[in-house]
Structure 1
Amino acid sequence: MKNNNIRKSALYLALSVAMGASAGAHAAVEIYNQDGTSFSVDGYFNAFYVNREDKLADTRNSDVKMGFLPNTIGFNFSKEMGELTLGGRSSFWSTINDSLQSPTDTAIDVRQLYATVDGSFGQVLIGKDFGLYARSNIFLDEILMGFGSPGAPTGVSFGNIRTGYPYPNPSAQITYRTPDLGGLNIAAGIFEPANTTPGAGSEQSAPRIEAEVTYSADLNGVSLTGWVNGRTQSSENDTDSVDSTGLGYGLRASVAGFSLTGSGFTSEGDVPVLISDTAATIGEEDADGYLIQGSYTLGANRFVLSYGETDSDQADYETENTSIAVFHDVNSNFKLVAEYNMFEQTTKSTGADAADIDTLALGAVVTF
Structure 2
Amino acid sequence: MKKLVLASMVAAAAVAAPAQAVTVMAEDGWTLGVSGSINQFAVFTENDAAGGEDIREVRDGLLPAFLNFDLKAPTMNGLDLAAHISFSPGTNSSSYDAFEQREVYFTVDGSFGQVLMGKALGLYGSHNILTEQTLYGVGYGTGGNGETTLGGIALGYDYAAWRSQIRYTTPDMNGFKAAFAVVDSSTPSFRLGANGNLPASSLDTGAGGSDTDDFRYEADLSYAGAFDGGSYSAWLSGAMEDRDDLAEDLQQWTVGGTLKVAGFEFMAQYSDSEDGTSGSAGTTCLAAGGCNGTAFGAVTPASASEKLEWDQYVIQAGYRFAGTTLVSANYSELEDKSSSAVDGADESERITLGVYHDVNSNLKLVAEYTKVENDDSDVLDQDIFAIGGFMFF
TM-score computed with the length of structure 1 as normaliser: 0.84
Q: Which residue of 1 aligns with 2:388?
A: 363
Residues 163, 229 of structure 1: alpha-carbon distance in 2 compared, 3 angstrom cutoff? same
- Count the aligned residue pairs: 331
* Cα distance in 2 between the residues matched to 1:205 and 1:61: 44
> Structure 1 stretches (4+) deviating beyond 4 angstroms?
279-282
Q: Which residue of 1 aligns with 2:160?
A: 168
Q: Which residue of 1 aligns with 2:260?
A: 254
Counterpart residue type for residue 27 of structure 1: A
Gaps of 5+ in 1: 1-9, 17-25, 272-276
* Cα distance in 1 between the residues matched to 2:265 and 2:24: 37
Identity over aligned pairs, percent: 32
* Cα distance in 1 between the residues matched to 2:248 and 2:13: 35
Q: How far did residue 270 of structure 1 move?
A: 6.6
Matches for 1:80-159 after TM superposition, within 5 Å: 80=74, 81-97=76-92, 99=93, 101=94, 105-151=96-142, 153-159=145-151
Aligned-residue CA RMSD (Å): 2.3
Counterpart residue type for residue 105 of structure 2: Y
Residues 270, 82 of structure 1: alpha-carbon distance in 2 compared, 3 angstrom cutoff? farther
Q: Is contact 1:76–1:88 with CA below 8 Å preserved after alignment? A: yes
Q: Which residue of 2 aligns with 1:4?
A: none
Q: Which residue of 2 aligns with 1:309?
A: 333
Q: Which residue of 1 aligns with 2:36?
A: 43
Residues 270, 147 of structure 1: alpha-carbon distance in 2 compared, 3 angstrom cutoff? farther
1:304-346 deviation line (CA, Å, top 9, x unaligned): 1111111123384422111111111111110111111111234
Q: How far did residue 219 of structure 1 move?
A: 4.1
1:245-304 deviation line (CA, Å, top 9, x unaligned): 000111111101101110110011178xxxxx9467653332100001111011231101
Matches for 1:1-368 after TM superposition, within 5 Å: 11=12, 13=14, 26-34=18-26, 35-56=28-49, 57-80=51-74, 81-97=76-92, 99=93, 101=94, 105-151=96-142, 153-196=145-188, 204-237=212-245, 240=246, 242-269=248-275, 278=281, 282-299=305-322, 300-314=324-338, 316=341, 317-346=346-375, 351-368=376-393
* Cα distance in 1 between the residues matched to 2:163 and 2:306: 22
* Cα distance in 1 between the residues matched to 2:140 and 2:256: 21
34-43 or 223-232: bigger deviation? 34-43
Q: Secondary structure of 2:73's match? A: strand
Greater RCO (Cα-Cα under 8 Å, separation 6 or more): 2
* Cα distance in 1 between the residues matched to 2:141 and 2:13: 24
Residues 261, 173 of structure 1: alpha-carbon distance in 2 compared, 3 angstrom cutoff? same
Q: How far did residue 82 of structure 1 move?
A: 2.6
Q: Secondary structure of 2:248's match? A: strand
161-170 or 31-40: bigger deviation? 31-40
* Cα distance in 2 between the residues matched to 1:311 and 1:231: 19
Structure number with higher strand proportion: 1
Counterpart residue type for residue 157 of structure 2: Y
Q: Secondary structure of 2:380's match? A: strand
Q: Is contact 1:310–1:318 with CA below 8 Å preserved after alignment? A: yes
Residues 189, 352 of structure 1: alpha-carbon distance in 2 compared, 3 angstrom cutoff? same
* Cα distance in 1 between the residues matched to 2:253 and 2:109: 28
Residues 87, 203 of structure 1: alpha-carbon distance in 2 compared, 3 angstrom cutoff? closer
TM-score computed with the length of structure 2 as normaliser: 0.79
Q: Is contact 2:48–2:378 with CA below 8 Å preserved after alignment? A: no
Counterpart residue type for residue 388 of structure 2: G
Residues 270, 323 of structure 1: alpha-carbon distance in 2 compared, 3 angstrom cutoff? farther
